[in-house]
Amino acid sequence: MPHLVARNLTKSFDGVRAVDQVSFAIPDGAFLALLGPSGCGKTTLLRMIAGLEDPDAGELLFDDVAVAGPRGTLPPEARRLGMVFQSYALWPHMTVRGNIEFGLKVQKLPAAERRRRIEEVLEVVGLSGHAARRPHELSGGQRQRVALARSLALRPGLILLDEPLANLDAHLRETMLAEFRRIHSMTGATFVFVTHDQEEAMAVATHVAVMNRGRLEQVGTPEDLYRRPQTESVARFIGRGRTLPVEVMASQDGLCTIALAGGVLKVAGLAPPGPGWLCFHASDLSRAPQRGPFAGEVVNQLFQNGVYATELAPLGVDVETVSLALPERLAPGTRIEVGLSGGWVIARAPSAAPALTGAAARSSA
């Protein structure tokens, strides 16, 4: 039984759909990253899960029980969830202990139980010695851990985090990501984590949901999104993938026979015969000793991490350039044959969805 199910969730503001018919099912204990450019609807979706926003249409279920939908909505406090924001939202005048204890008092837990839980969550987030400090006496990362501890103390089944690392520097973000992952596996709670940052999402999540202009483009494991994208924009967005237009001639048992640059080859995929996209990453391409699926001319090269990151203009293919790593320096204009390992074929719809652009696309660079 999935823990978190959304069915056609929709929410508009002033006639504009911020979240547009979003559906997914997330297993218990998952770490779901919600990924997408600014304004694509991530916070709105999270707020609907939290109960801070009512959907206009669609349904939301926790453990098969409707919490929002046509039969009304359950208020946030009845949803057994915790929320952590980018801004921490700690009480500045209260100690760490006071901040954590606040929600436990609201729940009218006895003093001994409150003390036990505070010690427990401070241990989990690694701040046992800091109970008496006030927020201004803590670093940004420590404050974020207090915010998380405050949520965990209520023992929620679901923790919602809206860009919790956005205010931290790059080094601290990495440390905190590892911490979140560790805390996630210690608690067994389901985490939903909103981020702009693709590397962050792919590194920590068990499931990634890619949103684009209010719509859910794809939800799956990080490997699914990387190796088996379902849309052209996901293919191009995740890991800076590339797509080449191809003609699918036949499709059988998960293999597509495609026509590319005057040749024919077989590549994994489920696309039906017709126009298709061949999706791949730079790491799938290499220089082939004999004739490969296509040839190209070197445009330029950068020496990076011990290899030559090469931009290549494919010949006989309707695309400007592709990238691959080569072991040697080659003069611009040099013609090479390209080998392809891996790759994935999807159908090419006549009216493609708008591409993923903006901050999220840049952050993958």
3-state secondary structure at position 252: strand
CB of 162 to ligand ATP, least distance (A): 7
CB of 237 to ligand ATP, least distance (A): 15
Q: How many chain residues are in contact with Mg ion, going by CB under 5 A?
A: 1
CB atoms under 10 Å from CB of 86, counted, come to 17
CB of 117 to ligand ATP, least distance (A): 31
Give the contact letters, 179-208, x = binds to ligand ATP (CB under 6 A), - = no: -----------------x------------
Per CB under 6 A, 164 contacts ligand ATP: no
- Looking at the Cβ atoms of 86 and 334, the one nearer to ligand ATP is 86
CB of 163 to ligand ATP, least distance (A): 7
Q: How many chain residues are in contact with ligand ATP, going by CB under 6 A?
A: 12
Dihedral over alpha carbons 191, 192, 197, 201 (to 10 degrees)? 50
CA distance 216 to 96: 38
- CA proximity to 312, closest of 332, 339, 292: 332
Could you tell me which stretch among 31-39, 153-161, 248-256, 277-285 binds ligand ATP (CB under 6 A)? Answer: 31-39
Phi/psi region, residue 49 (left: phi>0; alpha: psi -120 to 50; beta: rest), is alpha
CB of 37 to ligand ATP, least distance (A): 7
Per CB under 6 A, 42 contacts ligand ATP: yes
**Residue 272 gets which letter from DSSP?**
P
CA distance 43 to 36: 11
CB of 15 to Mg ion, least distance (A): 20
| 186 contact partners, CB below 8 Å, separation of at least 6 | 124
Which one among 44, 218, 286, 310 touches ligand ATP, defined by CB under 6 A?
Answer: 44
Per CB under 5 A, 364 contacts Mg ion: no
Cβ burial of 290 (10 Å; 0-12, 13-18, 19+) is exposed
13 binds, among ligand ATP, Mg ion, none (CB under 5 to 8 A by kind): ligand ATP
Residues 10-29 that bind ligand ATP (CB under 6 A): 13-14, 18
- Looking at the Cβ atoms of 213 and 236, the one nearer to ligand ATP is 213
CB of 43 to Mg ion, least distance (A): 3
Residues 28-67 that bind Mg ion (CB under 5 A): 43
Per CB under 6 A, 251 contacts ligand ATP: no
Per CB under 6 A, 364 contacts ligand ATP: no
Residue 16 CA neighbour count, 13 Å, CB half = 9
3-state secondary structure 178-239: HHHHHHHHHHCCEEEEEECCHHHHHHHCCEEEEEECCEEEEEECHHHHHHCCCCHHHHHHHH
Say how many Å lie between the first and final Cα of the chain, rounded. Answer: 37
Per CB under 6 A, 39 contacts ligand ATP: yes
Q: Using CB under 5 A, list all residues that contact Mg ion.
A: 43
Q: Using CB under 6 A, list all residues that contact ligand ATP.
A: 13-14, 18, 36, 38-44, 196
